[in-house]
Amino acid sequence: MIPGSLRTGSLNAKLAATAAYELAQAGADVTRISLGDFALPIYDGDLQTKSGVPKNAINLKRMIGVHHGVLIVTPEYNASVPSLVKNTIDWVSRVQDAHETRGQVFHDRAFAIAAASEGRLGGMRALAALRLILSACHATVIPNQLALSFACEAYDDMDRLKHPADVEALKALVRQLVDVSQRMM
């Protein structure tokens, strides 16, 4: 589980926590990370040539590599993914461990995508961008996705999703991620 925001009180981190709970209910062992624990410089080819891929990108790639499925929950910034998300994917796509092709970690597991936004579109455009980016990395991105609109008002006092349609969409996403992950094992 990869929330694409480091912000205190992040709506996407909240959705990631809710999705982690649903995944656990579906029988999955879930690791919810913070990209703050995998801080990376802005991708620069000269930096890579000089110093190699940063250790945090290698560590994140290996963390992804021990899981059968990945859910990225991204904010939408100016109709696309935040630089944090793109930069992380760019670095991880450059990792090549022994006996692997470069970026192989994207090839052999299932990816799911979700977004939360205060607005009506729920981060739909960020999801379109993220699906394209992951597809360019030859990832299998499951067809279901979740764009949580008006995310500020989507939760009750107990931090549960209020609207049955949102609950159903999240459950369907989780079910499909587990299903496709199992088929790809």
Ligand X SMILES: Cc1cc2nc3c(=O)[nH]c(=O)nc-3n(C[C@H](O)[C@H](O)[C@H](O)COP(=O)(O)O)c2cc1C
Maximum separation of any 2 CA atoms in the chain, in Å: 52
Residue 148 contacts residue 165 (beta carbons within 8 Å): no
- Tell me if 5 contacts ligand X by CB under 6 A: yes
For the stretch 120-123, contacts whose Cβ atoms lie closer than 8 Å and that sit 24 or more positions apart, written own/partner, are: 120/149, 120/150, 121/76, 121/147, 121/149, 122/146, 122/147, 122/148, 122/149, 122/150, 122/151, 123/74, 123/75, 123/76, 123/147, 123/148
- Minimum distance from CB of 141 to ligand X (Å)? 20
Closer to ligand X by CB, 147 or 178: give it. 147
- Minimum distance from CB of 42 to ligand X (Å)? 16
- Tell me if 11 contacts ligand X by CB under 6 A: yes
Q: Strand, helix or coil at 19?
A: helix
- Tell me if 123 contacts ligand X by CB under 6 A: yes
| Residues 59 to 98 in contact with ligand X, rule: CB under 6 A | 75-79
Residue 14 contacts residue 85 (beta carbons within 8 Å): no
Tokens coding 136:
């360019």
Residue 4 contacts residue 19 (beta carbons within 8 Å): no
Closer to ligand X by CB, 7 or 62: give it. 7
Site string for ligand X, 26-65 (x = CB under 6 A): ----------------------------------------
- Minimum distance from CB of 137 to ligand X (Å)? 23
Tokens coding 108:
């052999």
Closer to ligand X by CB, 65 or 150: give it. 150
Closer to ligand X by CB, 121 or 167: give it. 121
Pairing status of strand 2-3 against strand 69-74: parallel
Closer to ligand X by CB, 15 or 89: give it. 15
Site string for ligand X, 101-120 (x = CB under 6 A): ----------------xxx-
- Report the interface residues with ligand X, using CB under 6 A: 5, 7, 10-12, 75-79, 117-119, 121, 123
